[in-house]
Structure 1
Amino acid sequence: MSSFRVKGGLKLKGEIIPQGAKNEALQILCAVLLTSEKVTIHKIPNIRDVNKLIELLSDMGVKVEKVGPESYTFQADNVDLKYLDTDDFLKKASSLRGSVMILGPLLARFGHGRLSKPGGDKIGRRRMDTHFYGFQKLGAEFHYDSKKEIYHIDGKKLRGAYMLLDEASVTGTANIVMAAVMADGKTTIYNAACEPYLQQLCDMLNRMGAKITGIGSNLLTIEGVKKLKGTEHSMLPDMIEIGSFIGMAAMTQSEITIKDAQINRLGIIPDTFKRMGIKMEFRGDDIYIPSQKHYEIETFIDGSILTVADAIWPGFTPDLLSIVLVTATQAKGTVLVHQKMFESRLFFVDKLIDMGAQIILCDPHRATVIGLDRKYPLKGIRMTSPDIRAGVSLLIAAMSAEGTSIIDNIEQIDRGYQYIDQRLNALGADIVRID
């Protein structure tokens, strides 16, 4: 197990390029199973979750070739379906949450899917009912072995159907779309997720020969086709990393330029951080954040405390609530952070409280942060990263604190942020990786 030793109180300066989007990569990589032709993908982030999925695809018989620093080609012309029955497949798939999205392509192209219960962040129950509801509406039969925690799905002849999803699940929508693109007839998905990453997936599938309309809305229509072809695709910059850098700049009083952020695809993320009092300038597609000694949280028009809550797109992404929370600890003012989707995601605040933050954990879903306005800096401590987003929030807290902090279990951070220590050290941070 590795750790970070972080020297706090240093101001950073310079330019940083966001990595390719992790959540998009997990969908796009699964989509290569839909065709026997070659697919080229650019801006693939070098992070644990993505690398494990690429390894899993390779073990399934997909030909994988690295053709550049962030570019790969994939060709699934000889997929070994017998590998799905091995313990090695089940073990590797269970360690990766994104592995669930191989089911849609497998059903669409081969009529069969098998998967052990996926792992991932320990942020509360993350049900998969939406995925299986969609598969069943398309005519697949679902079986769950509760003793071995293995899902078996048979879908020899998928047929288009109308469905109203019980939740606008991003991975659920992606999985159903990939299953439906080669189903017989028309599929209509209402209450579909419409995040930019899902838009990217649908655009890629259309370039491969799919017929998807309604992209960017919550009503998708899919006309099934017999076969898909190869294509070339580039990932969006990771919006979660961009938001993390905005919060980090404010907390550490740093002057940072985030390059090629594709601002028009960020939704309300920049505006939400502006409401936290963080100044920023848009310079083309770059975000410039000046050094700020103080930043003040807005109130609502009637003077009541600002609430920042997660919501389905185009609402505020739940992956950035941890960043908003830690950023608020040194702001002037008070904010209520309301995490609706996961019941365990706010439990990392005890570490921030140990560092000196003033936070009231109202319940598993809500935390009130009373900003210290830098009058009382956080202090360095030893702590453990519980999940990807909380881990980076603790890293930001440690970088702004007085003294030195140790963050254990940084494998969680490595799952979502590539070379994070090297990239931040290039800006002036002092982060040492300890094995």
Structure 2
Amino acid sequence: MSSFKITGGKKLKGELTPQGAKNEALQILCAVLLTKEAVIINNIPSIRDVNKLMELLEDMGVKRTKLGEGSYKFEASEVHFDYFETDSYKEKASSLRGSIMLLGPMLGRFAKGKAPRPGGDKIGRRPLDTHFVGFTKLGATFEYEAGDAFYTVEGSKMEGAYVWMDEISVTGTANVLMAAVMTKGTTTIYNAACEPYLQQLCKMLNSMGAKISGVGSNLLTIEGVEELGGCEHTMLPDMIEIGSFIGLAAMTKSEITIKDCKIKELGIIPDTFRKLGIQMEFRGDDIHIPAQENYEINTLIDGSILTIYDAPWPGFTPDLISIILVTAIQAKGTLLVHQKMFESRLFFVDKLIDMGAQIILCDPHRATVVGLNRHHNLRGIRMTSPDIRAGVALLIAALSADGTSIIDNIEQIDRGYQFIDERLNAIGANIVRL
């Protein structure tokens, strides 16, 4: 297990370029299985989860050629189905939450697939029923082997159908969508997720020859085609990393410019941070955050305490709730953070309280943050990263704190943030990887 040693209290200054979007990458990479032709993908982040998925695809028989930094060519002309019976496949796929999205493209192209129960962050219940209900609506069958925790799907009789998504699941929508694009007939997916990641997947599939309409809405219509061809696709910058950098700048009183943000794709993320009193300036597609000594949380019109909560897109992404919470620690005012979608995501606040934050954990879903307004700084402590987003929230807290902090289990942070220590050190941070 690796750790970060952070010397806090340093103001940062400079430019940061966000990596390619992690959540988009996991979908896009699975989609290469839908064609035997070459698919070129640009702006792939070099992070643990994405690298492990690319290695898994290679083990399955997909040829991968590096074309440049973050750019690869994939050719899935052959897929070795005997590999799915091996212990290696079970071990590698079960460690990745995104591996469940291999089933959709395997169903769509080969009418069969197998995947173990996936891993990922321990942030609460994350049922997979939505995926398999969608598959069965298309006419597929599935079995769950509880003994070895494997899902097996078969889809030789699939036809287009009306699919109601009982949960607005990004991965569930992506999986059913990829199963439907080469399924005969018309499929409609209602209550579909419409995050930018999903829109990007639809645009990529359409460039491969799929016929998907309604992109960006919660009603997708798919006209099945017989086969898909190759394409070239460039991924969006990671909006979660962009939000993390905005919070980092505010907490550490730093002047940071975030480059090439694709601001139009960020939705309400910038405005949500503005509700905390954080100033920012759009310069083309760059976001400039000036150094701020103080920032004040907005109140409602009648003076009531502001609540920030997560919701499916175009609402505020749950992946930034941890960042909003930690950023509010040094604001002036009080904030209620309501994490609606996952019941274990706020449990990391005990570490922030140990650092000197004034936070009341009301229940598994809600926390009240009473801003310190710089009256005193957080203090460095030793702590453990429980998941990707909480890990970066703790890193932001440590960078703003007096003294030295140690964050253990930083493999969690590495799953979602590319060379984060090196990039922050380049603009003035003091982070040592132990």
TM-score bucket of the superposed structures, by smaller chain: over 0.9
Matched to 1:206, the amino acid is: N
SS at match of 2:315: coil
Identity %: 74
Q: Which residue is 1:192 aligned to? A: 192
SS at match of 1:329: helix
Q: Which residue is 2:99 aligned to? A: 99
Q: Which residue is 1:348 aligned to? A: 348
Q: Which residue is 2:417 aligned to? A: 417
Q: Which residue is 1:55 aligned to? A: 55
Q: Which residue is 1:427 aligned to? A: 427
How far did 1:125 drift? Answer: 1.3
SS at match of 2:330: coil
How far did 1:158 drift? Answer: 1.6
Q: Deviations over 1:202-229 (max 9, x none)?
A: 0000000000000000000000000000
Q: Which residue is 1:326 aligned to? A: 326
Matches of 1:139 and 1:54, distance apart in 2: 29
Q: Deviations over 1:331-374 (max 9, x none)?
A: 00000000011110000000000000000000000000000001
Contact 1:323-1:389 at 8 Å conserved across structures: yes
SS at match of 1:320: helix
Contact 1:267-1:314 at 8 Å conserved across structures: yes
Runs of 4+ in 1 over 6 A off after TM superposition: none
Matches of 1:276 and 1:420, distance apart in 2: 24
- Matching of residue 64 in structure 1 with residue 75 in structure 2: no
Q: Which residue is 1:360 aligned to? A: 360
How far did 1:325 drift? Answer: 0.2
SS at match of 1:183: coil
TM-score, scaled to structure 1: 0.99
Matched to 2:2, the amino acid is: S
SS at match of 2:109: helix
TM-score, scaled to structure 2: 1.00
Contact 1:237-1:262 at 8 Å conserved across structures: yes
Matches of 1:59 and 1:45, distance apart in 2: 20
Task: Provide the aligned C-alpha RMSD in A.
Answer: 0.5
How far did 1:157 drift? Answer: 2.8
Matched to 1:14, the amino acid is: G
Matches of 1:433 and 1:31, distance apart in 2: 34
How far did 1:105 drift? Answer: 0.3
How far did 1:87 drift? Answer: 1.4
SS at match of 1:261: coil
SS at match of 1:65: strand
Matches of 1:103 and 1:303, distance apart in 2: 50
Q: Which runs of 5+ in 2 are unaligned?
A: none
Matched to 2:201, the amino acid is: L
Matches of 1:280 and 1:288, distance apart in 2: 6
Q: Deviations over 1:77-104 (max 9, x none)?
A: 0110111111111111000000000000
How far did 1:147 drift? Answer: 2.1
Contact 1:157-1:183 at 8 Å conserved across structures: no
SS at match of 2:30: helix
Q: Deviations over 1:232-281 (max 9, x none)?
A: 00000000000000000000000000000000000000000000000000
Q: Which residue is 2:380 aligned to? A: 380
- Matching of residue 120 in structure 1 with residue 120 in structure 2: yes
Matches of 2:91 and 2:422, distance apart in 1: 31
Q: Deviations over 1:107-153 (max 9, x none)?
A: 01111111111000011111001100110000010111122211111
Matches of 2:30 and 2:205, distance apart in 1: 12
Q: Which segment drifts farther, 77-86 or 346-355?
A: 77-86
Q: Which residue is 1:165 aligned to? A: 165
Contact 1:10-1:400 at 8 Å conserved across structures: yes
Q: Which residue is 2:288 aligned to? A: 288
- Matching of residue 261 in structure 1 with residue 278 in structure 2: no
Matches of 2:198 and 2:224, distance apart in 1: 18
Q: How many residues align?
A: 434
Q: Which runs of 5+ in 1 are unaligned?
A: none
Matches of 1:301 and 1:174, distance apart in 2: 39
